[in-house]
Amino acid sequence: IIQEANKNYTIAFTKNPLPKSKHELRIDWFFSARMHLRKPRDVRHYSPEFLESIFKQHHLAAVLAFFIAFIVLIGLGFASDAKLFQVPAAASVAIFFALLMAAVGAFSLFLKSWSISVILLLYIVLNILYQNDILDLRNKAYGLNYINKKERPTYTKESIFALANKDSIENDKANFIKRLEQWKANQPEEKPVLYIINTSGGGVRSATFTFSMLQHLDTVLFQGNLMKKTMFINGASGGLLGAAYYRELYLRKLQDNSINLQNPQYVDDISKDLLNPLFSSFVSRDIIGPVQKFKKFGFEYAKDRGFAFERTLNTNTRGYLNKKLENYKEVEDKAIIPTMFFNNTISRDGRKFVLCTQPVRFFMAEHNKANNNQPTADIIDFNSFFRKQNSNNIGVLSALRMNATFPYVLPNVWLPTTPVIDVMDAGLRDNYGQENTLIFIDIFKDWLKANTSKVVIIKIRDRSVNDWDESNKNKSLFNVFTKPAFLLQYNWYKLQDYYQQDQLDYMKESYGNDLEYVNFQYVPSAKDKEASLSFHLTTAEKKEIKKAVTNKVNVDELNKLKTE
C-alpha cells in the first residue's frame, strides 16, 4: 500500500510541479536506515505553520523525556550505593553532556529570549545561598569538626608562625625521638639500618605497583620484616594507597597468623576499579546538590563523589582502612608499624599540610641555617593546627583521599579555617614524598648518625627515571597547537625529578656514605603496553604492572639493596 501511495504521489507531483524554492542546505539524495540510496520527498506542499507545529511537538516530547530521565537519574543517585545501579564512567560522561544539551533546549523552548536573563538570575540566587552557607556544595574531611565555627583557626602568617614556636618544635622533636628509640629497641642489631619508603603518585597504577613491590621486597630480601625495619612511609596519591593497605595487612598479620601477605588476592584488592563509582556519583548526586546525608565519626556530611571514593576504597580493601587516624597512634609510638605521613597541597597558595598521629611541627622550622628554630610557612602541621577540630579524629580513608585528590576527578576538600581553604593532591607539591624525607634526615641527623649504621631510602615510582626515548612520541600537527597549553602538565613531574635529585645529591654529600637510596620503577615491557594513569585498570594492565616488578631495572636495584 505504501509503495503504491509513493508511486501515485510521484505521478501527481510530475503532472503538477510546485514552484522551486531556495534551501540553505540542498539534499538531493540520502542513505536510508538500510543504507539504500534514496531521493527525498518534496514537502513544499506542507505549510510552514504545519511543519513548525510538528517540530514544536517533537521538541516538547524531547524535553518531557529529559525530565523523566532526570527523575530516573535522581532515583539512581539514591540507589547508587548498590553496585547494580552504578553507571560506567564513559556512560556517565555521555549522560552529563546529554543533560547539558537537554537543559539548554528546555530553557530555549520555554523562555526563548529570556533564557540568558533567567540563567543569570538563577546563578545570582544560587551564589547568594552558597555564600551564606545555605547551599553548601563543598566536600569535607570526614571526622573533622566543622560545627564549632568560633574556634576555627585563622589561616594567616601570624597564626602559622605562632604555631611553630621554638618550644613546640623542640617538644615535637623530643616526642619523635622516642619513636626512633622504640624503633631501635625493636631491631636485633646494635646499630641497625634504618629504611624509609617513598612512593609516588599515579592512581591505581601506582597503588598496584607499590603494593606488588612491597610484597616482592618483603619476600626476597626482608623475610617478612620490611615493615619492622622501616621507620616511616611517605608519598603521594595512589602510591600511598597501596602502602597504607600493605601496612594495615602487616599489622593484622601480627595479630592473626592466618594472613599471608604474599597472597595475590591482596594485589587484586588494591587494583580494583575506583573510577566508575566516582563518575556515577557525579552525574547522579553531585549535579543535584547535597541531598543525601550520612553520619560518620559523630558528624553529618553530604554524599558526593568523595563519599563514593571512600566507600569503594573501603570495600576494595575489605574494610581494613575504615579507622580514625588516632587508632594508629599507639602502634606507631611503639614502632610496631612504620609511621605514615599523609600530605596534601593547599590550592590557595601551594603550601602543604602534613598529617601524622602526633604533632610534627619540626617540619615547619627553617632548615640548613644557623638558627634552625625560626619557622617558615610552606609546611604546616595538620595535627596541631586543627587540634580544636579533633584533628586525630579524621578518618584514614579521608586522609588518603585528601592525599589523592586529582583535579575534577575528586572534589577538593575544604577545611574549617578562617578564611576557608581547600586542599588537593599531594603530587602537586611533591609527587615522590622526598621533601619530607630530606627534611626529616636533616632534623634528626645527629641521632641517625649515632644510632644507625646506615639510612636507606627506598623509592618506588610509577614512572621511569630515564625517559629520553619518550621525548618525541607525540609528533603531530595537533600536538603543535596543544603543546603550549599542556606544557607544564606534561613536564611537572620531570621538573620535580630534576630538583629533587639535586637535593638528594646535596643531602648525600652532606650526610656522607651512610646515606643510600634505590629506585624501583614501573617500566612497561613495551611502549604500547603502558598502564594508564587512572583510577581504573584493565586486566591486561594489571598483569603488565605485576610483571614490571621483576624487570631488569628492578632486579639490578634489588641487588644493589642487598649489598647495603
pLDDT tens for 76-103 read 766 666 676 667 767 777 777 777 777 7
- Comparing CA positions, the residue from 263, 235, 233 lying closest to residue 249 is 263
- Comparing CA positions, the residue from 230, 218, 224 lying closest to residue 180 is 230
Mean pLDDT of 18-26: 60
- Comparing CA positions, the residue from 298, 271, 296, 303 lying closest to residue 81 is 303
Q: How confident is the model at residue 376 (pLDDT cuts 50, 70, 90)?
A: low
Dihedral angle over CA of 440, 441, 443, 448, nearest 10: 120
Q: What is the predicted pLDDT for the residue at 50? A: 80
Residue 277 has pLDDT above 80, yes or no: yes
H-type alpha helices, 516-562 = 539-548, 552-562
Between 366 and 365, where is the model more confident? Answer: 365
Mean pLDDT of 368-382: 66
Q: Compute the distance between CA of residue 271 and CA of residue 254 in angstroms, rounded to an integer.
A: 24
- Which secondary structure element, helix H or strand E, spans residue 62, and what is its range? helix 48-79
Is the separation of the CB atoms in 548 and 523 below 8 Å? yes
* CATH value of 149-562 in 3.90.226, 1.10.730, 2.60.40, 3.40.1090: 3.40.1090
Between 503 and 105, where is the model more confident? Answer: 503
Phi/psi class of residue 528: alpha, beta or left (left: φ > 0; alpha: ψ in -120 to 50)? alpha
Taking the CB of residue 148, how many other CB atoms lie within 10 A of it? 11
Q: What is the predicted pLDDT for the residue at 64? A: 80
Q: Compute the distance between CA of residue 341 and CA of residue 508 in angstroms, rounded to an integer.
A: 22
Residues 460-485 have pLDDT tens digits of 998 887 666 555 556 676 677 767 76
Mean pLDDT of 113-129: 85
Residue 254 has pLDDT above 90, yes or no: yes
Mean pLDDT of 404-415: 88
Q: How confident is the model at residue 370 (pLDDT cuts 50, 70, 90)?
A: very low
Q: Which residues are registered as beta bridge partners of 234?
A: 198, 341
Residue 41 has pLDDT above 90, yes or no: no
Mean pLDDT of 31-37: 86
Residue 152: strand, helix, or coil: coil
Q: What is the predicted pLDDT for the residue at 549? A: 93
Q: What is the predicted pLDDT for the residue at 547? A: 92
Residues 318-345 have pLDDT tens digits of 999 999 999 999 999 999 999 999 999 9
Is the separation of the CB atoms in 77 and 288 below 8 Å? yes
Q: How confident is the model at residue 25 (pLDDT cuts 50, 70, 90)?
A: low
335 burial type by CB count under 10 A (0-12 exposed, 13-18 middle, 19+ buried): buried
The string of DSSP codes covering 418-472 is BS-EEEE-GGGT-SSSHHHHHHHHHHTHHHHHHH-SEEEEEEEESS-S--GGGTT
Q: What is the predicted pLDDT for the residue at 369? A: 47
Percent of the chain past pLDDT 70, that is, above it, reads 86
Residue 387 has pLDDT above 60, yes or no: yes
Mean pLDDT of 32-46: 79
Taking the CB of residue 363, how many other CB atoms lie within 10 A of it? 24
Domain ranges within the chain, ordered by starting residue: 149-562
Taking the CB of residue 159, how many other CB atoms lie within 10 A of it? 14
Residues 416-461 have pLDDT tens digits of 999 889 999 998 899 988 999 999 999 999 999 999 999 999 999 9
Residues 194-218 have pLDDT tens digits of 999 999 988 999 999 999 999 999 9
CB within 8 A of 69, min separation 6: which ones?
A: 102
Residue labelled with grid coordinates 540520502: 30
Q: What is the predicted pLDDT for the residue at 374? A: 54
Q: What is the predicted pLDDT for the residue at 485? A: 66
Output the average pLDDT for the chain: 85
Mean pLDDT of 131-147: 83
499: Cα separation from own chain's centroid: 23
Residue 19 has pLDDT above 80, yes or no: no
Q: What is the predicted pLDDT for the residue at 244? A: 97
- Which secondary structure element, helix H or strand E, spans residue 295, and what is its range? strand 293-296
Q: Compute the distance between CA of residue 25 and CA of residue 44 in angstroms, rounded to an integer.
A: 15
Residues 286-304 have pLDDT tens digits of 666 556 788 898 898 888 8
